[in-house]
Structure 1
Amino acid sequence: MKKYIKSLLLLALAAVVFTGCKEEYGTEPGNDGTPVGTVYQYKVGDGYNADNDCLFRVATNAAVSEVYYLAELKSAKEARKMTEGEYADYVVANGKKVDVKPSDYKDVYVTDLHGLYSITVVAVNGGTKTSQSIDFEGLDYKAFGTGTYTSEMFGNIGTVNVEYSEVGNRYRIKDLWKQGHGFSFSPNGSKVTVYPSSMETGVTHSKYGMISATDQGSTYDEGTKTFTFNFNFTVAAGSFGPMQEVLVLNK
């Protein structure tokens, strides 16, 4: 009886060990069977232009020997009418190689993108390839027209130049409160998203320093072409409270 119980215990232990080995397969170096480069997309930092520069990270598993990427307009990629495998071969032949080791990661910057881009990353091990893609909206601003801008905080600013990017459906006033200090915004029905949601105005208070603005929920009236920006203006010492900025498009 004791021998029978001991045999059962040994069988149970063997099952646990076998299950543990199966769960660890593909996670320890050398055990990965298929090359995979996992792609993570991030917002670029200082020194880059978030409107047109893309940052992504490629994290490889142990089976990866080489990694390539290709950034091209999404329309051009779709026009090729390639299968996923065919396009992976195309990326390896025409893309750029990423200097990354197995079971490691590499950050990649792709700059000056204008239009809707597809960025495809291909992980290679011999004849085996896998691919992942991300999309990036490279804003492409062009002159749109003018608008009349009034500010509860700063008074009647008057006529401003407005730009528009069809990619992202985004308007921009580049130089508003001061040169280089403005913002962009996208209407979606009656709601408006402001980019960035918090910003410096470039205007300094005589006592409290730089005045910043934070969006509190802005709106758009299609009929009158009117954007109403509800901003909370603050300085280091505190808040001036919520105030309205109004833009009426002249076009």
Structure 2
Amino acid sequence: MKKYIYRLFIAVFATVAFTACTEDEGTEPGNDSNPVITIYQYKVSKPLNSDNDTRLRFAANSPTSEAYYLAEKTTDKNDRITSIGEEGYKDYVISHGTKINGISGESNVDVTLTDLFGEYTITSVAVGGGLKSSASVIFTGLDWSDKATGTYTFFKPSVTGIASRPTTLQVCTTDEKLYRFKDVFGTGYHMKINLLNLKGNDADGEYTFFRIPVTETSFTYSTYGTVSVRDIGYWQGNDAWVTENGYESGMYADYSCFVYIQYFVSAGSLGYGYDMFIPD
């Protein structure tokens, strides 16, 4: 009886061990069975434009012999998949996409894509051992529509080096609450503002509150380096400074704006007050 129980235990143990090894196959390092590509997405830094440029890292596992990527409008990809199916789309990426040089076996390659306007899906296909697999990420490039040209006046010319600059106020085509002053702090250095669902009134009429997130400029100050700006709420870490304590920024119906803003460097504040935008 003991011998029978012992033999039964060995048989059960062998079955469990075999099953466990089968489940782990393809997940343990060095024991992958299918080609796999993973896409990591990163925000770019200047001189690239984070509104429309993105950096991707394609990471492949050991069975991957080669890989391809294709960036196209999400609507176009969806229409194509409806027409040719998921497997057909993998073949489409291979035949119409870009081969990722440097991908072979366990490896990774960085690629930067620029000038993407609207929603794009970036799809990558890994190939190896007669098998294919795909992965994708979405990047939405911002596009802008002009609302008003005019003059932006800086309250701190001792920091900016200039008293005013022509600029264009634009609205994002995919977000009606997001505006920007194009190139107001130098070429490629825009200032974005986020309109709130909050109105105010003064002697000049009704205006809509807006916020100014931390924004890097092209200006430098003394030996302290790059100058940045933000509204007082971001500086104090408390929205009430903007919406309740009188440090608000606002946009009127004719797009003229008063901009209550702080200029600062890493060492500290350079002052705060009202910048102005007056449409032509």
Larger strand percent: 1
Structure 1: gaps of 5 or more residues: none
1:144 aligned to 2:161? no
1:58 aligned to 2:58? yes
Identity %: 36
Q: Which residue, 202, 210, 213 being the options, matches 2:229?
A: 213
TM value normalised by structure 2? 0.66
TM value normalised by structure 1? 0.73
Instruction: Return the alpha-carbon distance in structure 2 between the equivalents of residues 228 and 16 of structure 1.
Output: 71
Q: Which residue, 85, 99, 103 being the options, matches 1:97?
A: 99
Instruction: Return the alpha-carbon distance in structure 2 between the equivalents of residues 68 and 181 of structure 1.
Output: 31
Which residue in 1 is equivalent to 2:215? 198
CA RMSD of aligned residues (A): 4.0
Deviations, residues 196-239 of structure 1 (Å, cap 9, x unaligned): x231352646x967643234267666867566655332246532
Within 5 Å, which residues of 2 pair with 1:9-88?
21-22=21-22, 24-28=24-28, 31-80=31-80, 81-82=82-83, 83-88=85-90
Larger helix percent: 2
Instruction: Return the alpha-carbon distance in structure 1 between the equivalents of residues 211 and 100 of structure 2.
Output: 35
Instruction: Return the alpha-carbon distance in structure 2 between the equivalents of residues 12 and 244 of structure 1.
Output: 78
From the superposition, tell whether residues 210 and 97 of structure 1 become closer, same or farther in structure 2 (CA, over 3 Å). closer
Which residue in 1 is equivalent to 2:246? none
1:180 aligned to 2:183? no
Structure 2: gaps of 5 or more residues: 198-208, 243-248
Instruction: Return the alpha-carbon distance in structure 1 between the equivalents of residues 86 and 195 of structure 2.
Output: 34
1:234 aligned to 2:264? yes
Q: Are the counterparts in 2 of residues 181 and 202 from structure 1 also a CA contact under 8 Å?
A: no
From the superposition, tell whether residues 136 and 168 of structure 1 become closer, same or farther in structure 2 (CA, over 3 Å). farther
Instruction: State the shift of 1:21 in Å.
Output: 3.5
